[in-house]
C-alpha cells in the first residue's frame, strides 16, 4: 500500500487548509456564540461561506470518482486528508457540502435513485440548497439490529402508506431539511434481510410530526438537531420507493460504509487538532517553577496521543484504499476496525488535551468539549462499538478456520 498523497489531493489540501485558515477558524467563536443563542437558526455567514467554497472548487469532494459525472473525481484515499482537515472544526464540513447525513443520502440517491428522484432531490442536495435526514432508528426496538425495525410501509394503489416512530433522525430539526430517507418493512413475513425497504418522504408530508428534539449531553446540536418523528398514515407515491421493495437492508449496508469512514476521517482531524492545542497550551503554562510541557507525565500523554492518532490515520487510509480498489463489501472488516478504533482514540486523545488545559478544557473557550462529544456519540451512531466487534470477531474466526 502506498499512502503517498497524489498531487491532486495535495493541491486540494493546500487550498482547503488556506480556506480554513482564512474563513473558518476566524469565525469559530462567532459561530459558537450564535448557535448557543439562536436555536434552529442558521449561522448567517454559512451561505456566504458555501458560495466561496463552491467558487474555489472545494465542493462535494466526498463523492468518489466511481460515481462518474456526478463526482468531482477524487478517490476515497485522496479525500481522506481533506475530510481530516475539515474535521478540525465540527461544523466546517457543511461549508464544503461534505457533511453527514447528506453525504450518505447523496450516495444513496446517486447510486440507487431514478432520474426523477435524482432531479427532485439529488440535484438540490448537491447544490447545497436543501438538506436531508436518514430515518432508521426507532425508540421501541433495539435498532443496532436493523432487522428489528418495525415501521410499516404498505402499498395502497399508487401510494405507499407509512406508519411508525423514529428517533435520532439527525438533521431533521434543520429548517433546510426537505426530504427523509425512511427505512421500514414492506413484507414482515419475507426472509430476514429482504423485509426492509427505503422510501423517500418529503418533510412536511401530512402525517409526519416532528415530536421533539433530542439533546446530546445537554446540547441540541442546533440547527441540525436529532429529532423524534411520528409517521402516521403518511402517504407517498409508489415512485418514491428506492430500487424496489425488499432492497432496504442492502441499501443500508452500502450507505453506512461510506458514512462510517467519513466520520472517522473527520474525527482524526479533531484528534489531531486536540493534540496541537494541547502542545501549545502546555508550552505556555508554568507550575511549580517548571513549564508544564517539561513534566514527564505530560510528555507521555503527548507521545501516546501522537502514536494513537497516526495509527488511526493509517488504518483509515488503509480502509479508504481497500474501498477504492475492491469496493465497500470487500472493505467491511477494515471499516469495522476503524469504527471500533477511531472514535475511542478521539475520546482518549481529546480527554488528555482537556486535562492538560485544566478548567479551560471543559468550557466554551476551546473546541475540545465538542470534539469529545463527537467522538463519544460516534461510538454509538452508525452501529455501537460492540456490534462492530461482534461482527469483526465472527468474520475473523470464520476466516481463520476456513483458510487452509
Ligand atoms: C448523535 C447520534 C446521531 C444519530 N443519527 C442517526 C440518524 O441520523 N439516523 C438514524 O436512523 N439513527 C441515528 N442514530 C442512532 C444510532 O444509529 C443508534 O442509536 C444505534 O444504531 C444503536 O441503536 P439503539 O440506540 O437502538 O441501541 P440498542 O440497539 O438498544 O443497543 C444498546 C446497546 O446494546 C449493546 N449491544 C447491542 N448489540 C450488541 C451486541 N451484538 N453485542 C454486545 N452488545 C450489544 C451495545 O452496548 C449498544 O450500545 C444516531 C445516534 C446518535 C447518538
Residue-range domain boundaries for the chain: 7-126, 131-242, 249-402
User: Could you give the angle at the alpha carbon of 320 between the alpha carbons of 347 and 303, nearest 5°?
Assistant: 35
Atom from ligand 1 closest to the CA of residue 172: 8
Atom from ligand 1 closest to the CA of residue 391: 41
Q: Of the residues 143, 260, 262, which should be mutated to test ligand 1's pocket, given the most ligand atoms within 8 Å of the CB?
A: 143
Beta bridge partners of 237: 159
Q: How far apart are CA 353 and CA 9, in angstroms?
A: 29
List the grid coordinates of 330. Answer: 470487500
Regarding pTM above 0.85, the answer is yes
Q: Dump pLDDT digits (tens) for 5-58.
A: 999 999 999 999 999 999 999 999 999 999 999 999 999 999 999 999 999 999
| pLDDT(404) > 80 | no
Q: Dump pLDDT digits (tens) for 197-223.
A: 999 999 999 999 999 999 999 999 999
Q: For domain 131-242, is the CATH number 2.40.50.840? A: no
Q: Dump pLDDT digits (tens) for 273-285.
A: 999 999 999 999 9
Contact between 67 and 328 under an 8 Å Cβ cutoff? The reply is: no
Closest CA to 308 of 259, 255, 357, 345: 345
CATH architecture assignment, domain 249-402: Up-down Bundle (1.20)
Cβ of 89 closer than 6 Å to ligand 1, yes or no, is no
Which fold does the domain 7-126 belong to in CATH? Butyryl-Coa Dehydrogenase, subunit A; domain 1 (1.10.540)
Amino acid at each position: 500500500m502506498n499512502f503517498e498523497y497524489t498531487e491532486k489531493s495535495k493541491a486540494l489540501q493546500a487550498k482547503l487548509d488556506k480556506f480554513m485558515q482564512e474563513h473558518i477558524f476566524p469565525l469559530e467563536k462567532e459561530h459558537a456564540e450564535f448557535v448557543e443563542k439562536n436555536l434552529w437558526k442558521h449561522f448567517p455567514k454559512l451561505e456566504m461561506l458555501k458560495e466561496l467554497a463552491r467558487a474555489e472548487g472545494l465542493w462535494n469532494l466526498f463523492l468518489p470518482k466511481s460515481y462518474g459525472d456526478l463526482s468531482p473525481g477524487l478517490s476515497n484515499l485522496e479525500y481522506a486528508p481533506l475530510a481530516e482537515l475539515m474535521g478540525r472544526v465540527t461544523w466546517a464540513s457543511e461549508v464544503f457540502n461534505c457533511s453527514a447525513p447528506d453525504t450518505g443520502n447523496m450516495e444513496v440517491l446517486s447510486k440507487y435513485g431514478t432520474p426523477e428522484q435524482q432531479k427532485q432531490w439529488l440535484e438540490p442536495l448537491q447544490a447545497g440548497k436543501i438538506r436531508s435526514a436518514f430515518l432508521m432508528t426507532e425508540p421501541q426496538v433495539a435498532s443496532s439490529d436493523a432487522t428489528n425495525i418495525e415501521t410499516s410501509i404498505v402499498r395502497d394503489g399508487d401510494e405507499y402508506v407509512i406508519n411508525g416512530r423514529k428517533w435520532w433522525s439527525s438533521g431533521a430539526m434543520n429548517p433546510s431539511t426537505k426530504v427523509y430517507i425512511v427505512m421500514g418493512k414492506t413484507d414482515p413475513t419475507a426472509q430476514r434481510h429482504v423485509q426492509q425497504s427505503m422510501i423517500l418522504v418529503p418533510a412536511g408530508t401530512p402525517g409526519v410530526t416532528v415530536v421533539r428534539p433530542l439533546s446530546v449531553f445537554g446540547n441540541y446540536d442546533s440547527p441540525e438537531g436529532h429529532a423524534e418523528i411520528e409517521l402516521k398514515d403518511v402517504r407517498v407515491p409508489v415512485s418514491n420507493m428506492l430500487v424496489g421493495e425488499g432492497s432496504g437492508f442492502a441499501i443500508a449496508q452500502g450507505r453506512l460504509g461510506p458514512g462510517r469512514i467519513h466520520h472517522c476521517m473527520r474525527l482524526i482531524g479533531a484528534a489531531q487538532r486536540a493534540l496541537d492545542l494541547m502542545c501549545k497550551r502546555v508550552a505556555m503554562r508554568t507550575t511549580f517553577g517548571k513549564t508544564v510541557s517539561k513534566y514527564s507525565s505530560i510528555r507521555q500523554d503527548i507521545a501516546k496521543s501522537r502514536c494513537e492518532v497516526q495509527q488511526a490515520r493509517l488504518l483509515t487510509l488503509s480502509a479508504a484504499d481497500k474501498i477504492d480498489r475492491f469496493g465497500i463489501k470487500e472493505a467491511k472488516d477494515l471499516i469495522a476496525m476503524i469504527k471500533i478504533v477511531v472514535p475511542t482514540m478521539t475520546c482518549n486523545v481529546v480527554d488528555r488535551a482537556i486535562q492538560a488545559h485544566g478548567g479551560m478544557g471543559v468550557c466554551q473557550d476551546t473546541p475540545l468539549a465538542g470534539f469529545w462529544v463527537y467522538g463519544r456519540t460516534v461510538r454509538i451512531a452508525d452501529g455501537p462499538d460492540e456490534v462492530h466487534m461482534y461482527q469483526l470477531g465472527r468474520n475473523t474466526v470464520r476466516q481463520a478456520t476456513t483458510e487452509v
